[in-house]
């Protein structure tokens, strides 16, 4: 969930009233926001870097507000205020208009070289805008929030904003060999080639996270004006030449990306939010983008879409009984201008370009419910009549674990993920023999594989509890995972039961007795015949030679029991003899 | 029969005494160790009100072993004085005497002796006075006679500095007659025996009272893990509410069932390497239900079923990628897909509680794996009010009655609501679960009828358990590093029971 931090006093000024922290928290809750933290720059710096560094910082109160991940229109002060003011019916939602320029339209021409790296671009102009320090900061901050969220850290979309008065169109969006791109980037004093820049930015804490997007590509995306001035090298950095300042009056915005839909949404959001400060409020000057196939499009789209939803559908989905007129009013408060049409049961809803999150009638239903107030909805129980069933494997597990505890063993709960070493080296087995599934992106060795046996988890539990009085008698009934090409995903869980006895003597007879008890519980008699169970001398690298037996029940091998090999005991950092038992309980379903 | 000869003697003396007697005095009179008298006092006390015994501590002066020696033999300086003949003694010779060094300097400072350094064969020591009084010996003998009190404070402290005298604290009992005093105390039996039962002798025997303040001996037993005890209770709650348990025994899932089937777009951040464990082997799912996959693909990329869709290029390769499921909703999707294939549609209520995996940065409240609790209801005409109603019943079974709901965003539910409950301890509203109505873009491609709604909610198993058992660090609850003592000591899980009151300060 993105967090937007706004200055409290600026927010209240824009809302036209003040709130106590509790009142504002309540308003947020109702609207689906969360007032996450009340802080100040000083407090933040002092928390992160100590109070000495924070000495000069501002102590203006900041509200940190969590915004739902799909509401890009609430990612800046301007949007938050507009959303809340409409919600509280203090203003009407503004209408955003795309207008043609008095003179020539700004043109951005895409060349075909971009196809393999970053094929889409859209553009628009904010004409006669008036920034202040606060507005300017908010403008920059919104771009950053969009980059981090909908733009997926610039991988899908990257935004460039430029002082149009320093440039001369038409603009060309192309891709070139890195060595052929040379310009003075933002915040640098001289020109560098793209190769040099990528090297420099490897140590830049902010920019290094974006380098991978183009790093190994033969061509890098780049935008030029008609004089060969570099506007930007998306998605990394803008040129210094066209940088915007508080004094910039005309802003050229370009968004390049790999996802056309998202590029259009991002452009719409930026221009709808900041056209508020244009001389002609809420108007955006169009720009033309020519695609390599020669087709030409005008942006921003600023499309208004109409949906018709039946009032009784909304009532039925939410569980309320409101008149169509009331529902239309509720929706209008959610920035969705609505009116009753047709037979009087239909509501026509206008979806503005700021609400790209509305893609289905269910999104409209939700907004009606939010405006109605979730906590005003009458709670009722569904009449759905059903007979409950337990999942048989879990039912058996529940029964067994109670009787395992009754037999004097203590239940442990260990991780399903572990290191290769745990299931292989430490048990004297080669990893290839385990048929384990392997994780491709573990952050640490603890999460290399899914366990193929429960034993390592139990032994690690003992190792962490060596101070406890002996004997330790532990068990776990849980799932292990084995590769299996007969399943749709290529792997299968098996429900295992594992028990260990750890004491000054190996206590094989105790573990053996536990097996006899488990078989008694499962109603499997001892004996060679098909219905019974036997143990037969066997061997395994985890067991002491001559002290291992394989368990056969109902005609199939279900596991092993025995005295653990001293090497295994040592590798798990244990010092006492130990016997263990591990079986698959699925044959007993 | 008395409880040992000392106890018997004690009772006789006490009977004859006027008011009471001191245990140390008695020991001295009887010529036994004081400890033997104390033992007799304690065994008589255990009989009830036979005697009263009041603990007293008295301070007493005693000679050290060196002090005893001096009381006997005289002080070192006296011994030095006595060893010097009238013609004097060579100093070197004097120093070799046992009391030489200490005695010499003390005798010098007492001006009993002098040293002549002018003699030819080294310094010689001569008496200065003809006789002297050995005060040290005299005083020590007084202490021996129990007259330490007659010595002055200064004199005592000087003797103490010379380590000849020490002050010891003696704990003694002042014993007096109890309300049930008798000199003929018979020995009490400790336990009932089979012989007593068969002979009936128990009728005539007094029994030693039990000390009910002592702790009992805990039984040898096995124990269930606290988190799994809570899991059992949640299963029980769902079963009481008529919910059927879904199969969730598949930790490995394809991206398709984990994300795509839930209408979670392929660029969603949850599908990032940073958040999800993907598999190297087996890297890809072998089979997917291709008809259904096509419908999912179309819904994502172009829309349909009344939806605009996400309008991006949906890739099968991305859907095939195997992972460790990030939620049990993948299992719910499989179950709902199976439900959709059954015609005609039958309403259903499902639940599951099982492990899910996140490639998270670990801290006190986050682990790479945890348990998710999920409830799902599929029926015609379900409303948001129904969802809230069922959540109210569910949470009231956990003992949580104050609920409120906050609008939220989940990729696969719309409307979505976070569930908050008022925490009286923290005095604020805390999030206890997440819920919503599954999106039509998820349900309709499965083949569920259009007028069927599916409401669902989820929460983690660990969080309520940590609150229940007062555990702050999740690593103290789950995994191999837990302290087994915590498992041994954990109480029953009764979710709707009132928490135990905080311990009260005992009057010290």
CATH number of the domain within which B406 lies: 3.30.930.10
Please give the interface size between A and B, counted as residue pairs whose CB atoms are below 8 Å apart: 295
B330-370 pLDDT tens trace: 999 999 999 999 999 999 999 999 999 999 878 887 889 99
A361: chain B residues, CB-CB within 8 Å:
306, 440
A497, containing H or E segment: strand A491-502
A380, A394, A437 member nearest B386 (Cβ)? A380
Shared domain for B18 and B71, answered yes or no, is no
Give dist(CA B109, CA B107) in Å, integer: 5
In a domain, A209, yes or no: yes
Long-range contacts of A128-131 (CB under 8 A, 24+ apart): A128/A249, A128/A250, A128/A278, A128/A279, A128/A280, A129/A248, A129/A249, A129/A250, A129/A251, A129/A274, A129/A275, A129/A277, A129/A278, A129/A279, A130/A249, A130/A277, A130/A278, A130/A279, A131/A245, A131/A246, A131/A247, A131/A248, A131/A277
Shared domain for B377 and B398, answered yes or no, is yes
A363: chain B residues, CB-CB within 8 Å:
414
B478: chain A residues, CB-CB within 8 Å:
413, 415
Nearest chain A Cα distance for residue B377, angstroms: 8
**End residue of a domain, out of B165, B192, B208:** B165
A360: chain B residues, CB-CB within 8 Å:
305-308, 414, 439-441
Nearest chain B Cα distance for residue A493, angstroms: 6
CATH number at residue A19: 3.30.56.10
Mutate which of B237, B252, B278, B312 to disrupt the A interface (most A C-beta within 10 Å)? B252
Contact B281 A438 (CB under 8 A): yes
In a domain, A369, yes or no: no
Nearest chain A Cα distance for residue B210, angstroms: 28
**End residue of a domain, out of A39, A68, A88:** A88
Q: Are A284 and A253 in contact (CB under 8 A)?
A: no
Domain housing A184 = 97-299
Shared domain for A80 and A133, answered yes or no, is no
B359: chain A residues, CB-CB within 8 Å:
441-443, 447
Instruction: Please name which of B390, A527, B132 lies closest in space to residue A519, comparing C-alpha atoms.
Output: A527
Shared domain for B44 and B155, answered yes or no, is no
B405, B408, B439 member nearest A68 (Cβ)? B408
pLDDT band at B501 (very low <50, low <70, confident <90, very high): low
**End residue of a domain, out of A38, A56, A88:** A88
CATH number at residue B117: 1.10.10.2330
Contact A32 B414 (CB under 8 A): no
B252, B307, B359 member nearest A359 (Cβ)? B307
CATH number at residue B10: 3.30.1370.240
Shared domain for A488 and A435, answered yes or no, is yes
Nearest chain B Cα distance for residue A405, angstroms: 4
Shared domain for A108 and A213, answered yes or no, is yes
CATH number at residue A149: 3.50.40.10
Indicate the range of A13-22, B372-381, B498-507 predicted with least confidence: B498-507
In a domain, A584, yes or no: yes
Mutate which of B480, B485, B490, B493 to disrupt the A interface (most A C-beta within 10 Å)? B480
pLDDT for the residue numbered A237 = 94
Nearest chain B Cα distance for residue A48, angstroms: 18
The pair of three-digit structure tokens given for residue A77, joined into one six-digit string: 């002060």
The pair of three-digit structure tokens given for residue A288, joined into one six-digit string: 């033309």
B225, B279, B359 member nearest A412 (Cβ)? B225
Q: Are B455 and B376 in contact (CB under 8 A)?
A: yes
Shared domain for A200 and A56, answered yes or no, is no
Instruction: Please name which of A86, A267, A521, A395 lies closest in space to residue A513, comparing C-alpha atoms.
Output: A521
A389: chain B residues, CB-CB within 8 Å:
244-245
Mutate which of B251, B289, B307 to disrupt the A interface (most A C-beta within 10 Å)? B251
Contact A440 B381 (CB under 8 A): no
The one-digit pLDDT tens for each residue of chain A (589 residues) are: 889 999 999 999 999 999 999 999 999 999 989 998 998 888 888 888 877 877 778 888 999 999 998 999 999 999 999 999 999 999 999 999 999 998 899 999 999 999 999 999 999 999 999 999 999 999 999 999 999 999 999 999 999 999 999 999 899 999 999 999 999 999 999 999 999 999 999 999 999 999 999 998 999 999 999 999 999 999 999 999 999 999 999 999 999 999 999 999 999 999 999 999 999 999 999 999 999 999 999 999 999 999 999 999 999 999 999 999 999 999 999 999 999 998 889 999 999 999 999 999 999 999 999 999 999 999 999 999 999 999 999 999 999 999 999 999 999 999 999 999 999 999 999 999 999 999 999 988 889 999 999 999 999 999 999 999 999 999 999 999 999 999 999 999 999 999 999 999 999 999 999 999 999 999 999 998 888 999 999 999 999 999 999 999 998 999 999 999 999 999 999 999 999 999 999 999 9
Nearest chain A Cα distance for residue B4, angstroms: 39
Shared domain for B426 and B279, answered yes or no, is yes
Mutate which of A488, A499, A574 to disrupt the B interface (most B C-beta within 10 Å)? A488
Mean pLDDT for the stretch of residues B33-58: 82
Nearest chain A Cα distance for residue B504, angstroms: 30
pLDDT for the residue numbered B362 = 80
Instruction: Please name which of A186, A178, A177 lies closest in space to residue A207, comparing C-alpha atoms.
Output: A186
Shared domain for A43 and A114, answered yes or no, is no
Contact A393 B247 (CB under 8 A): yes
Phi and psi for A387 in degrees, rounded to 5? -105, 130
In a domain, A320, yes or no: no
Predicted model pTM: 0.80
Nearest chain B Cα distance for residue A529, angstroms: 31
In a domain, B494, yes or no: no
Looking at chain B, the whole-number percentage of residues with pLDDT higher than 90 is 44
Shared domain for B92 and B54, answered yes or no, is no
In a domain, A179, yes or no: yes
B310: chain A residues, CB-CB within 8 Å:
261, 359
Shared domain for A15 and A131, answered yes or no, is no
Shared domain for A183 and A294, answered yes or no, is yes
pLDDT for the residue numbered B480 = 93
Closest residue in A to B306 (Cα) is: A360
Q: B210: how many CB neighbours lie within 10 A of its CB?
A: 8
Shared domain for B299 and B396, answered yes or no, is yes
Nearest chain A Cα distance for residue B299, angstroms: 11
Shared domain for A290 and A175, answered yes or no, is yes
A391, A404, A440 member nearest B247 (Cβ)? A391
Give dist(CA A324, CA A338) in Å, integer: 10
Shared domain for A106 and A185, answered yes or no, is yes
Give how many domains chain A has, as a whole number: 3
pLDDT band at B507 (very low <50, low <70, confident <90, very high): very low
Closest residue in A to B314 (Cα) is: A259
In a domain, A263, yes or no: yes
Q: Are B332 and B250 in contact (CB under 8 A)?
A: no
Length of chain A, in residues: 589
Residue B125: is it exposed, middle or buried by C-beta count within 10 angstroms (0-12/13-18/19+)? Answer: buried
In a domain, B395, yes or no: yes
What is the DSSP code (8-state) at residue A222? E
Shared domain for B248 and B160, answered yes or no, is no
Contact A415 B251 (CB under 8 A): no
Contact B408 A393 (CB under 8 A): no
Closest residue in B to A27 (Cα) is: B406
Contact A384 B383 (CB under 8 A): no
pLDDT for the residue numbered B204 = 82
Domain housing B98 = 65-165
Shared domain for B305 and B413, answered yes or no, is yes
Instruction: Please name which of A472, A224, A544 lies closest in space to residue B484, comparing C-alpha atoms.
Output: A472
Sheet architecture: strand order including B124-127: B89-90, B124-127, B113-116
In a domain, A443, yes or no: yes
Contact A490 B252 (CB under 8 A): yes
In a domain, A578, yes or no: yes
pLDDT for the residue numbered B366 = 84
**Whole-number CA gyration radius for chain B:** 45
Shared domain for A487 and A553, answered yes or no, is yes
In a domain, B444, yes or no: yes
A359: chain B residues, CB-CB within 8 Å:
303, 307-310
Contact A489 B239 (CB under 8 A): no
Contact B385 A465 (CB under 8 A): no
B388: chain A residues, CB-CB within 8 Å:
374, 377, 379
Count of H helices and E strands in chain B? Answer: 19, 16
User: Collapsing DSSP states into helix, strand and coil, what is residue A341?
Assistant: strand
**End residue of a domain, out of B114, B139, B165:** B165
In a domain, B499, yes or no: no
Shared domain for B374 and B275, answered yes or no, is yes
Shared domain for B25 and B82, answered yes or no, is no
In a domain, B214, yes or no: no
Shared domain for B330 and B303, answered yes or no, is yes
Shared domain for B40 and B161, answered yes or no, is no
A389, A409, A483 member nearest B222 (Cβ)? A409
In a domain, B196, yes or no: no
Nearest chain A Cα distance for residue B333, angstroms: 15
- Tell me: pLDDT of B490 over 70: yes
pLDDT band at B95 (very low <50, low <70, confident <90, very high): confident
In a domain, B329, yes or no: yes
**End residue of a domain, out of A31, A64, A88:** A88
B245, B347, B488 member nearest A394 (Cβ)? B245
B280, B282, B488 member nearest A491 (Cβ)? B282
Shared domain for A16 and A161, answered yes or no, is no
Give dist(CA B407, CA B53) in Å, integer: 73
pLDDT for the residue numbered B508 = 41
Shared domain for A84 and A121, answered yes or no, is no
In a domain, B206, yes or no: no
A32, A410, A458 member nearest B223 (Cβ)? A410
Give how many domains chain B has, as a whole number: 3
Nearest chain A Cα distance for residue B382, angstroms: 7
């Amino acid at each position: 969930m993105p967090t937007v931090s706004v200055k409290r006093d600026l927010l209240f000024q824009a809302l036209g009233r003040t709130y106590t922290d509790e009142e504002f928290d309540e308003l947020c809750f109702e609207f689906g926001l969360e007032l996450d933290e009340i802080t100040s720059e000083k407090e933040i710096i002092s928390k992160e870097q100590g109070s000495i560094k924070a000495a000069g910082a501002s102590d203006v109160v900041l509200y940190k507000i969590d915004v739902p991940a799909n509401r890009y229109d609430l990612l800046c002060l301007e949007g938050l205020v507009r959303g809340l003011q409409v919600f509280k019916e203090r203003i009407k939602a503004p209408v955003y208009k795309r207008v043609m320029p008095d003179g020539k339209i700004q043109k951005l021409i895409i060349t075909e070289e971009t196809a393999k790296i970053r094929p889409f671009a859209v553009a628009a102009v904010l004409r006669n805008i008036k920034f202040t320090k606060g507005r300017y900061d908010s403008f920059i901050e919104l771009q950053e929030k969009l980059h981090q969220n909908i733009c997926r850290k610039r991988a899908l979309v990257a935004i460039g904003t430029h002082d149009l008065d320093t440039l001369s169109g038409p603009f060309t969006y192309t891709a070139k060999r890195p060595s052929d791109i040379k310009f003075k980037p933002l915040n640098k004093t001289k020109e560098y080639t793209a190769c040099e820049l990528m090297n420099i930015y490897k140590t830049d804490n902010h920019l290094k996270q974006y380098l991978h997007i183009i790093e190994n590509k033969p061509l890098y995306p780049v935008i030029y004006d008609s004089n060969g001035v570099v506007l930007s090298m998306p998605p990394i950095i803008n040129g210094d030449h066209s940088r915007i300042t508080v004094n910039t009056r005309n802003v050229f915005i370009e968004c390049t990306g790999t996802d056309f839909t998202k590029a259009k949404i991002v452009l719409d959001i930026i221009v709808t939010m900041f056209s508020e400060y244009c001389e002609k409020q809420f108007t955006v000057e169009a720009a033309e983008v020519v695609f390599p196939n020669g087709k030409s499009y005008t942006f921003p789209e600023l499309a208004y879409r109409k949906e018709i939803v039946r009032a009784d559908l909304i009532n039925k989905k939410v569980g309320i009984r409101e008149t169509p007129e009331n529902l239309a009013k509720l929706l209008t408060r959610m920035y969705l201008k609505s009116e009753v049409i047709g037979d009087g049961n239909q509501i026509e809803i206008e979806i503005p370009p700021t609400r790209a999150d509305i893609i289905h009638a269910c999104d409209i239903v939700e907004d009606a419910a939010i405006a109605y107030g979730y906590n005003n909805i009458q709670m009722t129980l569904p009449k759905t009549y059903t007979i409950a069933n337990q999942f048989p494997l879990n039912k058996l597990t529940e029964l067994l674990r109670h009787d395992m505890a009754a037999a004097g063993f203590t239940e442990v709960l260990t991780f399903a993920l572990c290191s290769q070493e745990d299931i292989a080296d430490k048990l004297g087995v080669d990893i290839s023999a385990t048929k384990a599934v392997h994780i491709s992106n573990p952050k640490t060795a603890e999460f290399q594989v899914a366990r193929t046996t429960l034993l390592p988890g139990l032994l690690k539990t003992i190792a962490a509890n060596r101070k406890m009085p002996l004997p330790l008698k532990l068990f776990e009934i849980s799932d292990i995972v084995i590769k299996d090409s007969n399943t749709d995903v290529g792997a299968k869980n098996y429900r295992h039961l594992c028990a260990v006895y750890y004491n000054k003597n190996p206590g094989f007879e105790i573990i053996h007795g536990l097996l006899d008890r488990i078989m008694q519980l499962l109603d499997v008699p001892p004996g060679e015949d098909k219905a019974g169970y036997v143990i037969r001398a066997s061997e395994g690298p985890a067991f002491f030679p001559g002290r291992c037996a394989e368990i056969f029940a109902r005609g199939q091998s279900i596991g092993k029991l025995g005295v653990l090999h001293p090497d295994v005991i040592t590798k798990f950092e244990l010092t006492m003899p130990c016997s263990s038992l591990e079986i698959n309980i699925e044959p007993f379903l | 029969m008395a409880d040992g000869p000392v106890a018997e003697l004690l009772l006789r003396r006490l009977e004859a005494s006027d008011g009471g007697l001191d245990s140390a005095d008695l020991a001295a009179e009887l010529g036994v160790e004081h400890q033997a008298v104390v033992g007799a006092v304690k065994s008589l006390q255990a009989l009830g009100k036979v005697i009263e015994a009041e603990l007293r501590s008295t301070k007493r002066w005693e000679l050290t072993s060196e002090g005893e020696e001096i009381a006997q033999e005289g002080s070192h300086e006296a011994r030095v004085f006595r060893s010097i003949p009238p013609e004097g003694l060579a100093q070197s010779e004097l120093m070799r005497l046992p009391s030489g060094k200490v005695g010499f300097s003390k005798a010098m400072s007492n001006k009993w002796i002098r040293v002549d350094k002018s003699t030819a064969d080294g310094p010689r020591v001569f008496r200065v006075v003809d006789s002297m009084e050995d005060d040290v010996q005299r005083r020590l003998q007084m202490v021996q006679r129990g007259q330490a009190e007659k010595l002055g404070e200064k004199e005592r402290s000087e003797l103490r500095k010379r380590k000849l005298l020490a002050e010891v604290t003696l704990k003694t009992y002042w014993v007096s007659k109890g309300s049930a005093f008798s000199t003929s105390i018979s020995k009490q039996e400790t336990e009932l025996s089979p012989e007593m039962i068969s002979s009936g002798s128990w009728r005539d025997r007094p029994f030693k009272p039990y000390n009910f303040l002592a702790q009992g001996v805990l039984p040898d037993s096995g124990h269930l893990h606290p988190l799994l005890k809570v899991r059992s209770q949640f299963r029980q709650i769902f079963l009481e509410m008529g919910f059927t348990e879904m199969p969730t025994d598949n930790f490995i899932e394809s991206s398709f069932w984990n994300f795509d089937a839930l209408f979670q777009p392929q660029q969603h951040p949850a599908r990032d390497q940073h958040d999800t464990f993907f598999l190297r082997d087996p890297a890809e799912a072998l089979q997917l239900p291709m008809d259904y996959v096509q419908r999912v693909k179309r819904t994502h990329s172009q829309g349909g079923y009344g939806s605009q869709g996400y309008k991006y290029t949906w890739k099968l390769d991305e859907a095939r990628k195997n992972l460790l499921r990030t939620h049990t909703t993948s299992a719910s999707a499989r179950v709902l897909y199976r439900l959709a294939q059954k015609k005609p549609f039958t309403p259903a209520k499902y639940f599951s509680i099982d492990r899910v995996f996140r490639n998270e940065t670990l801290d006190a409240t986050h682990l790479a794996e945890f348990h998710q609790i999920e409830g799902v209801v599929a029926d015609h005409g379900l409303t948001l009010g129904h969802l809230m109603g069922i959540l109210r019943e569910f949470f009231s079974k956990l003992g949580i009655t104050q609920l409120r709901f906050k609008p939220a965003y989940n990729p696969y539910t719309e409307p979505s609501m976070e569930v908050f409950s008022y925490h009286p301890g923290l005095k604020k509203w805390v999030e206890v679960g997440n819920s919503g109505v599954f999106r039509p873009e998820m349900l309709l491609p499965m083949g569920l009828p259009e007028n069927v709604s599916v409401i669902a909610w989820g929460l983690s198993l660990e969080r309520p358990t940590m609150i229940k058992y007062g555990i702050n660090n999740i690593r103290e609850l789950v995994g191999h590093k837990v302290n087994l003592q915590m498992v041994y000591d954990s109480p029953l899980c009764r979710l709707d029971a009132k928490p135990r009151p905080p311990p009260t300060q005992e009057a010290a």
